[in-house]
Amino acid sequence: MGRSPATSHRVALREERNLRVSTAVAMWVAGAATLAGGTLLGATDPGRESLTWALALTGMAMAVVTALVFPRVSMRTLVVLTNVCCAIGGGFIAIGAALTGGAASPFFELFLFTSLYAAYFFSRRSLALHLLLYAAAVLTVVLLEPADDAGHTAARLLIIGAGALAIGTVISWHRGRLLEAEARARRQALRDPLTGLHNLRSLRAEVEATPLDGGAALLLLDVDNFKGVNSHFGHTGADRLLTALGQELTAAAGDGACVARIGGDEFVVLVRDHDADRLQALIAGCEEAAGRARAATGLPGPDLTASVGTAAWPRDGDDLSALLDAADRDMLARKHASRRGRVDTALGALAARPHAGHQRTLTAVEQAPAPVPSGRVASWLRSRPSRTLAGTAGWWTAALAITAVLVLSRGELAAPVMVAGCALFALSAGALLLPFGARYGDRAYLVSDVCAFGGLVLSVALTGGTTSPLLPFVLVPTAINAYFADARQAVIQLVAGILVIATPLLYAMPAERVDYSVRFLALVTTAAILTLVIARNRAELDRAQRQADEQALTDPLTLLPNRRAFSRRLATALADASHETGATVCAAIIDLDNFKRVNDRHGHAAGDLLLRSIGQELERVVREEDTVARVGGDEFAIVAPGTGLDTGRALGERCVAAVEDVARRLGFSACGVSATVGFALYRRDAMTADDLLTAADTALLRAKDAGKRRVAHPERAAA
């Protein structure tokens, strides 16, 4: 089988090269600055100041090397280097911890930042390896220099580990969902909405990914008298036949070929390793595919015929555009030479209509995959917003952390009952956020954030203040809000988090404040960089996804909405109208008459120019709230909310006049280019999108039977 867009052209996900490098630089600068700041404030063990300064200078040197070297290497090398850099960063933090208190060092908090980096930029397998490496580094430092308060230290390291795992899980999971959505949108942008084959954009991307070389050839296939199919079977039958033809061409082309639909009834087959015999066999196979497609649809009448033009690299051109032009000229020459000998008018003599069971309409709403059976609880959880699930996970993880501190402290806490109350409060808050987050949205999240930061202030004070194991948990709501809230809210939450980190300074003794300085710098630096990185990455991903969505919903030739976008717009308009008594929606299908004459006489480049100009003119004659889309080779469609019978007919007449005006301006009047319009109204003619399009298509056929250049409604045709 020929390659599909999903398999033949690998859609590259975002490399984020600059962000990967700049974040690594920030990581080294943050670590070096924190270590240097702690040394200046006297938090380093006596006798180790020189080693600490050397380590800080090493961190700054690594930042310079990263900034200068990493941008110049290939993406594959960069991935390897950043993995190595992140591993070395873990060792840097472990050494810094050994120099600033061992097991009691405040430097361990920086492992949260390296965990964030690994979660965002690396695969899940790499993330797991990095987390194991960090755990081994922490364990080594603790074993070499154990702390006096083993229970308190164990609780603190457990909290850091839980925080790293929670941040890593949330970032990795949610970013994975965004990347999957982006990849899905890009795949749609590289597919023809009707046949599922490559489109012109995808064909170009295929050639860019694997440049043409010796043995490459291009076949351009044009179905003869395809307008007869539209005239006698309607657009429903024509769509079904085009889909079958795409499948037959894919089978005829075989493995290694790229099959694309680049126009209404125009297909391209790109082969990489042709020879004369194979090329002739492929030409014959493509010509026979048209007849097989007609038989596969079950439509009555004689077989279709097709004209095939060829072009070879580099004889006929050294790029895709030149090959397309050469194949187009060859196809037109073959078509003209064989016009009399071919059965080109067989379909024009058909009087039969396709059986209703064979019709295929423009699908108004893309079919969604069947839901996967699951339990009620799992289904209910999947229906919760991502922010709700993340917030609930944060609350419940905090409850477990507070409980762990209570257990591991071995009765050393001043108010164990109050600490237990904090754990119960966190558990209850998570349980309440799960149902109410989806119902009340931002209000529920605001209450949750206020309670989270207030609860952290109290919990930190009850579990040691400057030495509290719970301080790293301030990064959890900060990270969640940076990912899910807007930029303004993310900044507010960052400020709130910094205030929580600073509260122990209000009641700590002077000596405790000096010891807390390194930990304070580490937490504040991590929180700031965490917010910056997450917010920036989220903005870039959202922007990339919007661009991919626009490509997936845009016709690459006319830049109008494509069939997929038209279906969505029609579904939305009908849903809006269903809530208003008496509201109407007009769906119109515009078919260009005699458009094939332009392609046959002047070439496909002239036809493309005419289509682009018609699309621009149609957008000019409709209202701002209307949607004009290109849904086929020479077929356009309009969704016009709030349009009745008289205004719908007037809209169609403006479209007919617009098409003829464009053809006259471009000098194609001699080809007889005009337009026929069929339109139908929601509530008056149909109640569903598919029925509405079928009614409009029926009206279009009646108008063509009456002589073209007309506007028709299902009830009657009008001149």
Q: Using the 8-state DSSP alphabet, how is residue 467 labeled?
A: G
Q: Is the pLDDT of residue 43 over 90?
A: no
Q: Is 370 inside a domain boundary?
A: no
**Which pLDDT belongs to residue 322?**
85
Reduced to 3 states (helix: H, G, I; strand: E, B; else coil), residue 311 is strand
Query: Strands of 266-271's sheet, edge to edge?
Result: 258-261, 266-271, 217-223, 306-312
Domain stop point among 526, 550, 574: 550
Structural domain range at position 339: 200-344
- On average, the pLDDT of the chain sits at 80
**Per-residue pLDDT for 369 more than 70?**
no
Which residue type, as a one-letter code, is found at position 71? P
Least confident range from 86-90, 109-113, 626-630: namely 109-113
At residue 679, does pLDDT exceed 90? yes
State yes or no: pLDDT of 368 exceeds 70.
Answer: no
Do 90 and 124 sit in the same domain of this protein? yes
- Indicate the range of 35-39, 348-352, 445-449 predicted with least confidence: 348-352
For β-strands 635-641 and 306-312, DSSP reports them as unpaired
Same domain assignment for residues 108 and 178: yes
Q: Is the pLDDT of residue 362 over 70?
A: no
The DSSP bridge pattern shows strands 585-593 and 306-312 to be unpaired
**Measured distance CA(221)–CA(286) in Å, rounded:** 8
- Picking from 453, 462, 471, the residue whose alpha carbon sits closest to that of residue 417 is 462
Residue 476 lies in a domain: yes
- 415: region left, alpha or beta (phi > 0 left; psi from -120 to 50 alpha): beta
| Residue 298 included in any domain | yes
Same domain? For 142 and 232 the reply is no
Per-residue pLDDT at 227:
66
Looking at residue 148, its pLDDT comes to: 67
Residue 682 has pLDDT above 60, yes or no: yes
Cβ neighbours of residue 445 closer than 8 Å, sequence gap 6 or more: 387, 391, 437, 484, 485
3-state secondary structure of 193: coil
Distance CA 165, CA 119 (A): 9
- Reply yes or no on whether the pLDDT at 359 is more than 50: no
Residue 280, domain CATH:
3.30.70.270
pLDDT at 336: 66
Are 398 and 522 part of one and the same domain? yes
Residue type, 179: L
Q: How many whole angstroms separate alpha carbon 137 and alpha carbon 91?
A: 7
Q: How much is the average pLDDT of 330-343?
A: 62
Each residue's pLDDT tens digit, 144-160: 877 667 777 787 787 78
Count of domains observed in the chain: 3
Q: Whole-structure pTM over 0.75, yes or no?
A: no
pLDDT band at 551 (very low <50, low <70, confident <90, very high): confident
Report which of residues 179 and 570 the model is more confident about. Answer: 570
pLDDT band at 499 (very low <50, low <70, confident <90, very high): very high
Structure tokens given for 152: 């308190």
Residue with the larger pLDDT of the pair 719 and 382? 382
Same domain, 398 and 517: yes
β pairing state of 258-261 and 266-271: antiparallel
- Both 301 and 232 in a single domain? yes
Query: Is 675 contained in some domain?
Result: yes
In this structure, the answer to whether residues 637 and 518 fall within a common structural domain is no
- 94 beta partners: none
* Domain assignment of residue 275, yes or no: yes
Summarize pLDDT for 159-215 with one digit per residue, the tens.
Answer: 787 777 777 776 777 677 667 766 776 777 788 878 888 888 888 888 888 888 877
> How many Cα neighbours within 13 Å face the side chain of 272?
14
CB atoms within 10 A of CB 345: 11
Question: Higher model confidence: residue 628 or residue 51?
Answer: 628
55-59, 329-333, 363-367, 527-531, range with the lowest pLDDT: 363-367
Number of neighbours of residue 339 by Cβ within 10 angstroms: 13
Q: Are residues 296 and 402 in the same domain?
A: no
Task: Tell me the C-alpha distance between 498 and 491, whole Å.
Answer: 11
Residue 277: per-residue pLDDT = 81
**According to the model, what pLDDT value does residue 594 have?**
86
Q: Cis link prior to 5 (omega < 30° from 0)?
A: no
Model pLDDT, residue 235: 64
The answer to the question of residue 239 being in a domain is yes
Give percent of the chain above pLDDT 70. Answer: 86
**The residue type at 368:** A
Whether residues 686 and 539 share a domain: the answer is no
Residues 167 and 208 occupy one common structural domain: no
**Catalytically annotated residues:** 634
Rounded to a whole number, what is the distance in angstroms from the first to the last CA of the chain? 48
pLDDT category of residue 230 using cuts at 50, 70 and 90? low
What number is the average pLDDT over the span 252-273?
85
**Does the pLDDT value for residue 411 go beyond 80?**
no
670 in any annotated domain: yes
Task: Indicate whether 401 and 517 sit together in one domain.
Answer: yes
549's enclosing H/E stretch is helix 510-552
Residues 101 and 162 placed together within one structural domain of the fold: yes
**DSSP H or E stretch at residue 222:** strand 217-223
Per the structure block, which two tokens stand in for 280? 């002739």
Can you tell me the distance from the alpha carbon of 263 to that of 608, in angstroms, rounded to the nearest whole number? 9
The residue ranges of DSSP E strands in 58-145, in sequence order, are none
Paired strand residues for 259: 269
Asked whether residue 53 is domain-assigned, the answer is: yes
Q: What is the pLDDT of residue 622?
A: 92
- Domain C-terminal end among 522, 550, 578: 550
Q: Cα–Cα distance between 711 and 146 in angstroms, integer?
A: 87
